Amino acid sequence: MATVELLIIDELGFVPLSKTGAKLLFELISQRYERGATIITSNLPFDEWTATFGEERLTGALLDRLTHHVHILEMNAQSYRLAQSKAG
């Protein structure tokens, strides 16, 4: 995955990761750091990511890599799916 031009991780934090899963994702992000583009979507603010990764230190190290040389887009709009279903 380190050689893939663009990696998209959708809905990070929707389900907490196992300890092994959190470490593997950290390794993947570390390998891609400054080598490939990554898009991550999440409904969680950064201060709640520790619940997903289980360890404060691991979460801090991951966020350090993810937030360096990035564009952070915060969107607080109504759900597109919800609006579409209400429209009929």
Backbone angles phi, psi at 6, to 5 degrees: -135, 125
Cα–Cα distance for residue pair 16/43, rounded to 1 Å: 13
| Number of domains the chain contains | 1
Does residue 29 lie in a domain region? yes
Does residue 48 lie in a domain region? yes
Does residue 72 lie in a domain region? yes
Q: How confident is the model at residue 4 (pLDDT cuts 50, 70, 90)?
A: confident
Does residue 31 lie in a domain region? yes
Q: Which two tokens stand for residue 26?
A: 């950290």
Q: What is the CATH number of the domain that holds 68?
A: 3.40.50.300
Does residue 1 lie in a domain region? no
pTM: 0.77
Does residue 63 lie in a domain region? yes
The domain of 58 spans 6-87
pLDDT digits (tens, 9 = 90+) for 46-85: 999 999 999 999 999 999 999 998 899 888 877 777 888 8
